[in-house]
Amino acid sequence: MSRVGKLPILVPAGVDVSLQNDQINVKAAGGSLNLAQNALVKIVNEAGKLSFSPANDSRESDAMSGTMRQLVNNMVVGVTKGFEKKLMLIGVGYKAQATGNKLNLAVGYSHPVNIDMPVGITVATPTPTEILIKGADRQRVGQIAAEIRDVRPPEPYKGKGIRYSDEKITIKETKKK
């Protein structure tokens, strides 16, 4: 059995987990998330403790039990604490400005780049060269951060561009005569 799938999820107080025949719903003060239930995994809710087990002895069922456990755990953590990604802008004149649910980027193009944030995702700019993306859904926060980074990914010679705060860029050596 999957090592991750063996671990139970302790549901904190204030979090409501409901299991229907095809949906898993998690609600708390941080929002509401749902996930389609997989037929290869049996989920049991026993007094605030979720346990996951494979429905049969197949390899796919075993692997999916660990995957479903981690997805549901991310949902529980997301509605209680939330997830965040931090991006940095490196380059002369590069700046970001968040207004409401829009992000305005000036990253060396002849025009500003405007990105609309989906429902449930908030964006903030503590300084003009930092972008902070927050939300309850871990996948959506990471996807929005990746889309913002793709506007101007870091280049390998000077390191200019948009990068994650913990990302290390290896700077290439320039051509010599």
The model's pLDDT over 118-176, given as tens digits with 9 standing for 90+, comes to 999 999 999 999 999 999 999 999 999 999 999 999 999 999 999 999 999 999 998 88
Residue 2's contacts (CB-CB under 8 Å, 6 or more residues apart) are 54, 62, 63, 65, 66, 69
Whether 173 maps to a domain, the answer reads: no
How many structural domains is the chain composed of? 2
Which comes out higher in pLDDT, residue 4 or 10? Answer: 10
Domain that holds residue 113: 83-164
Q: Does residue 1 have a pLDDT over 80?
A: no
pLDDT value at 99 more than 80: yes
Residue 177 lies in a domain: no
Is pLDDT at 47 greater than 90 in this prediction? Answer: no
End-to-end CA distance of the chain, in Å?
Answer: 59
Out of 80, 102, 123, pick the residue that ends a domain: 80
Please tell me whether residues 43 and 14 are part of one structural domain.
Answer: yes
Q: Specify whether 57 is located in the same domain as 99.
A: no
The CATH number for 126's domain is 3.90.930.12
138 contacts: CB under 8 Å, gap ≥ 6: 74, 77, 78, 83
Tell which of 50, 80, 110 closes a domain: 80
The rounded percent of the chain whose pLDDT value lies above 70 is: 99
